């Protein structure tokens, strides 16, 4: 069987599993998988690894954003400082923090936690392009 045909079959199966309901998928798996217990273990391992990878990427993005804010604070760039102040106002525990130039990485992480990282990074990159 050619590689192209095999890829098309794999794509068709993938699309089928995306659109099928859980009972249909379970029946299909029972027909095609001989050892469901072993399959379930592999599935759980795969999901665990996928979640760990997603968490790692999230943490890397967070650190990248924190580093950009710290760099902006050191360089005294107005827009990132304004963004950080705005975020701090939304966080009651940091609302009274006035000396942003002395703020720690941990405090920056706490301020920007649960915010849209992509949007914040885009705002900082846009500001960097202007300078």
Span 42-97, pLDDT tens digits:
889 988 999 999 889 888 888 888 887 777 777 776 777 677 777 766 665 555 55
- Please, is 52 exposed, middle or buried when counting C-beta atoms within 10 Å of its C-beta (0-12, 13-18, 19+)? exposed
- Is this model's pTM higher than 0.75 or not? no
| Number of continuous H segments (helices) and E segments (strands) in the chain | 6, 0
Q: Which of 2-6, 11-15, 28-32, 87-91 has the lowest mean pLDDT?
A: 87-91
Q: 32 pLDDT exceeds 80?
A: no
């Amino acid at each position: 069987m050619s590689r192209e045909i095999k890829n098309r079959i794999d794509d068709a199966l993938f699309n089928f599993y995306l659109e099928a309901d859980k009972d249909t998928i379970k029946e299909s798996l029972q027909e095609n998988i001989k050892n469901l217990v072993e399959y379930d273990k592999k599935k759980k391992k795969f999901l665990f690894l996928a979640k760990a990878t997603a968490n790692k990427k999230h943490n890397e993005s967070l650190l990248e954003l924190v580093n950009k804010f710290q760099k902006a604070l050191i360089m005294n760039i107005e827009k990132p400082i304004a963004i950080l102040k705005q975020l701090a106002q939304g966080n009651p525990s940091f609302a009274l923090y006035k000396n942003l130039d002395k703020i720690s990485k941990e405090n920056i992480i706490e301020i920007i936690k649960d915010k849209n990282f992509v949007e914040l990074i885009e705002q900082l990159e846009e500001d960097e392009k202007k300078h």
